[in-house]
Structure 1
Amino acid sequence: MRRQRQRDRHRHGTPHDRFRPLRLLLAAAVAAACLALPTAAPATAAPSAPAAPAADTCAPLKAGASIAAEDAVKVACRYVGWMYAWGGGHAGGLPGPSQGMLDETDLDSINDPTYWSFDCIGLVRWAWYKATRQDIISERTTQSTWQNPGYAHTRFTKAQGEAPLLPGDIMYFGEDLSHVALYLGNGKRLESPESGQVVRVSDIPWAGYRGSLRPEVSGVFPVWEYDGLGKQVKTWGQPNLRNDSTTGSDINWTIDNGISVAVRALCQRVGERATVDGMVNNVWTYLPDYRSWISNLFIQGPAITPGVPSCGEYSRIGGTLDGASSNTSCGDGTPPESAGAWTAKSATVFGRTVELRYNGTTACAWGRITGGTIGDEIWVDRSNDGGDHWEPMLGYTTVTSGGDAYTTQWNDNGVVMRACGTNGKGGSIVCTGWY
């Protein structure tokens, strides 16, 4: 089962690519590889300060690697103990710890959507991005990165064994090239292994080894600017990360598939007022790991993020929160029981209640399922033409404990929405009416 799962994941591309068409097909019926990453420290801990790995274990263990390669190892070592998340690290256009997904072929992945972390290639992608300031691996499968790396490299074969390898080399495993890890030296590798396990140092299983790639890069860069500072926050939607706190400044990064990424927010300041889906906000946040700004419209949380200081505290950056007013946001994941929320529409499926929760003050809506069991699904659809066409599967989540679950908030200003849920994978789907 495990090996078949790996083959499927890499034959069909990223988990998001394979999962979405299936869910869309099911939704239409009612209305119309790797192994991935955990956190020994909570998944909400800042990337700059997760649970400390054993320094004598997770480190370059052999001399001769480039500074960039050693930096890649040191970056990845910071995530030892983090939970594997299937699909984690595969936000389109943006490396970094992202929300995992449920692999319908593997019950061990039931909690993966609750982790913002990495699968195997996602961790390697992030480590080498931090070491080079380039997303050299990008959002691709292990198979495609082996067959066509897309960057200058040296290739080592299985027959050459361990002798030519140096720390930071990207190792490939399995007949179907389903797993990758970073070589450390002395027969050790650093890997994000599979659902239910954590990022770890392990012995290299040479029988399954297929070969390695060594990125050839030049330059030495600061890996962790403002190290130890900042708060981890989560994105939503498809934001642009810009060179300045204005909507007309150059775009450095774009999350083009809507997968939520955990980013390190250093500070925030008032900039140009931005508008999306009826929400407005003139506060922007600086993300030091990407050397870019993001509008707070695309950060889960209130319009001004608690616990993140004004950029006036950093003379090199500058700016204050003076003039931050009349801002709204729908990406805060506020529980449906929050003040002002009420059930606008509901439906039932095998004893479960599916609700569309609505807050008239913020014009935001959620989906919620109650009375269910682990594996039940809930999401919302949104339409700007009265329900003839819609954006599907917004805020998709599952019941991971107890019997209830709810989606994140979505703006409902000037559109209609509905909530849809199931009595478990492959079960019946029911949707509320549009509201």
Structure 2
Amino acid sequence: MLLAVVMAAACLGLPATTTAAAAAPAAPPATAASTAAREAAAACAPLKPGASATAVDAVEVACRYVGWSYAWGGGHAQGLPGPSQGMIDPTDPRSYGDPKLWSFDCIGLVRWAWYKATRQDIVSERTTQSTWQNPGYAHTKFTKEQGEAPLLPGDILYFGTGITHVALYLGDGKVVEAPNSGDVVRVADARWDRYQGAFRPHTAGVFPVWEYDGLGQHVKTWGQPNLRENSHTGSPVKWQNGNGISVAVRALCQRVGERVTVDGMVNNVWTYLPDYRSWVSNLFLQGPAVIPGVPSCGQYAAIGGTLDGADSNTSCGDGTEPNSAGAWTAKSTTVWGRTVELRYNGTTACAWGRIIGGTVGDEIWVDRSSDGGQTWEPMLGYTTVTSGGDAYTTQWNDNGLVMRACGTNGKGGTIACTGWY
């Protein structure tokens, strides 16, 4: 059993003023990997008749995520529901790895389930407590004293003194919930000793819940993107990410649209997101200018468009000037007092080399490998220190590859290379 204080730390939710955690590179949403997890997901379903079609849809959505790792703060991008980057709860050491996960906390899961069932963000980006005090949507309220009898699948149940947890009811005393850091979205017995009441939203669904079901791949946003009705900036905004928390969105297809420039990066490719029926400029998706593995929208007759002309983008062009905004040192080493660094930008998936603390004539370059470092393209971006003690190479696409930086203490000197990243 979990103590109430632990549940408070785990499922409190985040206020709208919370800022985004630093983006963790190459960390996809954690999904079920075991047979047991898949069996648990199959067992997640409405267990009592009488629920509305919309409520049944909300349950079906939540059940799709059984086995996904819990992430504290997950699901709390302001204005944009969906699995988002977790954060560290300073009261819970189990949460220290949550920034590497894109998933949900308890209210984030409920928010997403009811959004997908209605295509309205009725729960919105608020704390568990605030949604209990003021749901913000038309509803029927059930009190603790009424017990389990009137509840139906899809009802939003609240638990804990002070309200510390929320879950979706399934029936037969079961809920689907995102419990706490270190655990996964699961089906569990409702804790009736901690139950405080429930809400049943009054809202109709929009079908189908899962358009292009089973297609697309998750990619991560960065910054504060606008999701638009079409692939140009004059198109109406349908969704906005107001606080910059990175969300894992399902990318169905890509096409060339309006050329957009942000912070010196240029891209004319846009991606269609079926879960929002919206388009987003690829400048706001982490990775290279054209997302690998996501097809042209031309293969979907109802959407259309091609990637013709996408090769002129510069968000991660090989041999271009590095974009240092948000970049960090992924690997480093030293050579005769100089520091050799592999710099990495998780937004553009570009990397480059830098040498600092050296002298004129010191060398710096990067190697790139597609087989984990067994073989590599050598000496990309080779340059030398021409004045002062520092120099850096041009940037190179590191998406799905590994790279390292190498430097010397002058021509003919000792060569030192960082580890592969």
TM-score tier after normalising by the smaller chain length = 0.7 to 0.9
TM-superposed CA distance for 1:368, in Å, is 2.5
Q: Report the AA paired with residue 113 of structure 1.
A: P
TM-superposed CA distance for 1:325, in Å, is 3.0
2: CA distance, partners of 1:311 / 1:262? 20
Equivalent of 2:288 in 298, 302, 310: 302
1: CA distance, partners of 2:100 / 2:72? 11
Equivalent of 1:71 in 57, 63, 70: 57
Q: Is the 8 A contact 2:255 2:306 kept in 1?
A: yes
Identical columns (%):
68
2:198 matched residue in structure 1: 212
TM-superposed CA distance for 1:182, in Å, is 0.4
Q: Is the 8 A contact 1:39 1:199 kept in 2?
A: no
Query: Deviations for 1:22-45, whole angstroms, at most 9, x for unmatched residues?
Result: x9xxxxxxxxxxxxx963349xxx
Q: Report the AA paired with residue 329 of structure 2.
A: R
- After TM superposition, list the pairs within 5 Å mapping 1:28-427 onto structure 2: 39-41=31-33, 52-54=38-40, 57-329=43-315, 361-364=321-324, 366-368=327-329, 408-409=346-347
323 and 202 in structure 1: CA distance in 2 versus 1, 3 angstrom threshold: same
74 and 8 in structure 1: CA distance in 2 versus 1, 3 angstrom threshold: closer
Name stretches of at least 5 consecutive residues in structure 1 with no aligned partner.
24-36, 43-50, 333-338, 341-359, 372-403, 413-432
Corresponding residue pairs, total: 334
Q: Report the AA paired with residue 93 of structure 2.
A: L
2: CA distance, partners of 1:279 / 1:405? 18
280 and 253 in structure 1: CA distance in 2 versus 1, 3 angstrom threshold: same
Query: Deviations for 1:105-136, whole angstroms, at most 9, x for unmatched residues?
Result: 21100110111000000000000000001000
1:46 matched residue in structure 2: none
362 and 85 in structure 1: CA distance in 2 versus 1, 3 angstrom threshold: same
1: CA distance, partners of 2:177 / 2:15? 19
Query: Deviations for 1:72-121, whole angstroms, at most 9, x for unmatched residues?
Result: 00010010000000000001110000000011221100110111000000
278 and 411 in structure 1: CA distance in 2 versus 1, 3 angstrom threshold: farther
54 and 2 in structure 1: CA distance in 2 versus 1, 3 angstrom threshold: closer
1:426 matched residue in structure 2: none
Q: Is the 8 A contact 1:15 1:103 kept in 2?
A: no
Query: Deviations for 1:283-307, whole angstroms, at most 9, x for unmatched residues?
Result: 0000000000000001111101110
Query: Deviations for 1:137-159, whole angstroms, at most 9, x for unmatched residues?
Result: 00001111111111110000011
Q: Report the AA paired with residue 40 of structure 1.
A: A
TM-superposed CA distance for 1:405, in Å, is 11
2: CA distance, partners of 1:55 / 1:19? 32
1: CA distance, partners of 2:230 / 2:241? 17
Q: Is the 8 A contact 2:72 2:86 kept in 1?
A: yes
76 and 20 in structure 1: CA distance in 2 versus 1, 3 angstrom threshold: closer
4+ residue runs over 2 A deviation: 1-11, 15-21, 37-42, 51-57, 360-365, 368-371, 404-412
Aligned with 2:107: secondary structure?
helix
1:351 matched residue in structure 2: none
TM-superposed CA distance for 1:329, in Å, is 2.0
Name stretches of at least 5 consecutive residues in structure 2 with no aligned partner.
23-28, 333-341, 351-389, 393-421
8 and 226 in structure 1: CA distance in 2 versus 1, 3 angstrom threshold: closer
Q: Is the 8 A contact 2:219 2:248 kept in 1?
A: yes
Q: TM-score, normalised by structure 1?
A: 0.71
TM-superposed CA distance for 1:323, in Å, is 1.5
Aligned with 1:183: secondary structure?
strand
1: CA distance, partners of 2:46 / 2:5? 33
Q: Is the 8 A contact 2:267 2:314 kept in 1?
A: yes
C-alpha RMSD over aligned residues: 3.1
